[in-house]
């Protein structure tokens, strides 16, 4: 049986799996934001950007950035 959970972002009920900790909608939204950040960091002059600069330039929440950093670890 699939495990149902409430999305921590929007509260929607969804089927939880190990690759996703949010519902389909939030996952897609997050993926787009991730792309924005990845594109930003791919530029040579942005490689050493401080996290606050990344937040300022991409508009992505700091909490989300930290979540991605943890995922890479």
DSSP H or E segment with residue 58: helix 51-58
41 versus 64: smaller Cβ distance to Zn ion: 64
64 binds Zn ion (CB under 5 A): no
> Half-sphere exposure (CA, 13 Å, Cβ side) for 59?
5
Among residues 16, 20, 26, 33, the one that binds Zn ion under rule CB under 5 A: 26
Q: Binding to Zn ion by residue 7, rule CB under 5 A?
A: yes
Residues lying near Zn ion in the complex (CB under 5 A) are found at 7, 9-10, 12, 22-23, 26
């Amino acid at each position: 049986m699939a495990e149902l959970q409430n999305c921590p972002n929007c509260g929607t009920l969804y089927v939880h799996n190990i690759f996703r900790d949010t519902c389909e909608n939030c996952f897609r939204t997050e993926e787009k934001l991730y792309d924005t950040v990845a594109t930003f960091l791919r530029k040579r002059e942005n490689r050493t950007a401080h996290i606050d600069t990344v937040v300022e330039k991409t508009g992505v929440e700091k909490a989300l950035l930290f979540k991605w950093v943890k995922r890479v670890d």
